Amino acid sequence: MIDPRVQLNIPFPPEKQEKLAELIEGMEREQLFWLHGYLQALLQTALTKSLPENSLSGESTPEIPQQTITILFGTHTGNCRKLSQLLLERLGEAGIIAGTFDMDTYRPRQIANERYLLIIVSTHGEGTPPLAAEGFYEYIHGKRVPLLETLNYAVLALGDRSYFHFCKTGADIDSRLEDLKAKRIIPRADCDIDFTDQASAWIDEIVLKLKTDLQAKAISVKPTQDFTKSKTVPRQATRQHPVEAEIAELINLNGRGSSKSTYHIEMVTEPGALHFKPGDALGIWPKNDPALAGRFIDKLPFDREQVVNCKGEDLSIINFLTHHAEITSVSRDTLERYHTLGPNKKIKVLLEDPEKLRNFLRGPDFLDLLHLFPSNLNAQQIVDILRPLQPRLYSIASSLRMFTNDIHLTVGLVRYNGDGRIRKGAGSSFLGERVKKDDKISVFVEENENFRLPVDAASNIIMIGPGTGMAPFRAFMQEREITGGKGKNWFFYGDRNFSTDFLYQTDWQTWRKKGLLTHIDLAFSRDQSDKIYVQNKLKTKSKQVFKWIEEGASVYVCGDSSKMAPDVQKAFTEIIRKEAGKSPDDARAYIKELRRQKRYLEDVY
Ligand SMILES: Cc1cc2nc3c(=O)[nH]c(=O)nc-3n(C[C@H](O)[C@H](O)[C@H](O)COP(=O)(O)OP(=O)(O)OC[C@H]3O[C@@H](n4cnc5c(N)ncnc54)[C@H](O)[C@@H]3O)c2cc1C
Ligand SMILES: Cc1cc2nc3c(=O)[nH]c(=O)nc-3n(C[C@H](O)[C@H](O)[C@H](O)COP(=O)(O)O)c2cc1C
Go through the domains of the chain in sequence order and give each one's CATH number: 63-230 (3.40.50.360), 243-286+391-446 (2.40.30.10), 290-385 (1.20.990.10), 461-604 (3.40.50.80)
Q: For 161-294, where are the E strands, in sequence order?
A: 183-184, 189-191, 243-252, 262-268, 281-284
Per-residue pLDDT tens digits for 140-188: 999 999 999 999 999 999 999 989 899 999 999 999 999 999 999 999 9
Mean pLDDT of 258-287: 96
Protein residues whose CB sits closer than 6 Å to any atom of ligand 1: 281, 328-329, 362-363, 392-395, 410-412, 414, 416, 425-428, 468, 471, 603, 605
3-state secondary structure of 289: coil
pLDDT of 8: 43
How much helix, strand and coil, in percent to the nearest 5, is found in the chain? 40, 20, 40
Q: Whose CA is nearest to atom 41 of ligand 1?
A: 416
Q: How confident is the model at residue 357 (pLDDT cuts 50, 70, 90)?
A: very high
pLDDT of 232: 42
Ligand closest to the CA atom of residue 397: 1
- Neighbouring CB atoms inside 10 A of 3's CB total 10
Mean pLDDT of 456-467: 97
pLDDT higher than threshold 80 for residue 28: no
Q: Please say whether the beta carbons of 459 and 295 come within 8 A.
A: no
pLDDT of 223: 38
Which span out of 81-95, 357-371, 537-551 was modeled with the highest average pLDDT? 537-551
Mutation test residue for ligand 2: of 103, 122, 447, the one with most atoms within 8 Å of CB: 122
Give the Å distance between the CA of 55 and the centre of ligand 1.
Answer: 48
Per-residue pLDDT tens digits for 412-428: 999 999 889 999 999 99
Query: In the predicted model, what is the mean pLDDT of the chain?
Result: 89
Q: Whose CA is nearest to atom 29 of ligand 2?
A: 124
Give the Å distance between the CA of 391 and the centre of ligand 1.
Answer: 11
Q: Whose CA is nearest to atom 21 of ligand 1?
A: 428
Per-residue pLDDT tens digits for 488-527: 999 999 999 999 999 999 999 999 999 999 999 999 999 9
Taking alpha carbons only, the member of 446, 488, 369 closest to residue 605 is 446
pLDDT of 15: 76
pLDDT of 405: 85
pLDDT of 235: 59
Task: Give the Cα separation of 401 and 1 in Å (integer).
Answer: 35
Of residues 78 and 183, the one with the higher pLDDT is: 183
Mean pLDDT of 4-26: 67
pLDDT higher than threshold 50 for residue 383: yes
pLDDT above 90: percentage of residues in the chain: 76
Per-residue pLDDT tens digits for 184-240: 999 999 999 989 999 999 999 999 999 988 876 655 554 333 333 334 444 578 888
pLDDT of 92: 87
Q: Which of 144-148, 339-343, 513-517, 569-573 has the lowest mean pLDDT?
A: 339-343
pLDDT higher than threshold 90 for residue 13: no
pLDDT of 53: 38
Q: How confident is the model at residue 42 (pLDDT cuts 50, 70, 90)?
A: low
Of residues 50 and 282, the one with the higher pLDDT is: 282
Given the CA of residue 409, which atom of ligand 1 is nearest to it? Answer: 8
Under DSSP, the state recorded for 171 is H
pLDDT of 52: 39
Mean pLDDT of 573-600: 96
Give the Å distance between the CA of 415 and the centre of ligand 1.
Answer: 10
Give the Å distance between the CA of 338 and the centre of ligand 2.
Answer: 24
pLDDT of 4: 44
pLDDT higher than threshold 50 for residue 564: yes
Protein residues whose CB sits closer than 6 Å to any atom of ligand 2: 75-80, 122-127, 130, 158-160, 163, 165-168, 193, 561, 605
Given the CA of residue 393, which atom of ligand 1 is nearest to it? Answer: 17
Given the CA of residue 286, which atom of ligand 1 is nearest to it? Answer: 25
Q: Which of 212-216, 239-243, 294-298 has the lowest mean pLDDT?
A: 212-216
pLDDT higher than threshold 50 for residue 304: yes
Mutation test residue for ligand 1: of 261, 280, 392, the one with most atoms within 8 Å of CB: 392
pLDDT of 39: 73
Per-residue pLDDT tens digits for 487-497: 999 999 999 99
Q: Please say whether the beta carbons of 406 and 266 come within 8 A.
A: yes
Q: How confident is the model at residue 44 (pLDDT cuts 50, 70, 90)?
A: low
pLDDT higher than threshold 90 for residue 310: yes
pLDDT of 10: 61
pLDDT higher than threshold 80 for residue 299: yes
Whole-prediction pTM value?
0.82
Give the Å distance between the CA of 414 and the centre of ligand 1.
Answer: 6
Per-residue pLDDT tens digits for 277-291: 999 999 999 999 999
- Neighbouring CB atoms inside 10 A of 144's CB total 11
Q: What is the dihedral of CA 80, 391, 131, 177, to 10 degrees?
A: 50
All residues at 6 or more sequence positions from 155 whose CB lies less than 8 Å from its CB, including other chains: 119, 120, 121, 170, 173, 174, 177, 188
- Neighbouring CB atoms inside 10 A of 465's CB total 26
pLDDT of 519: 98
Q: What is the dihedral of CA 410, 415, 416, 419, to 10 degrees?
A: 160
Task: Give the Cα separation of 157 and 75 in Å (integer).
Answer: 11
Give the Å distance between the CA of 425 and the centre of ligand 1.
Answer: 7
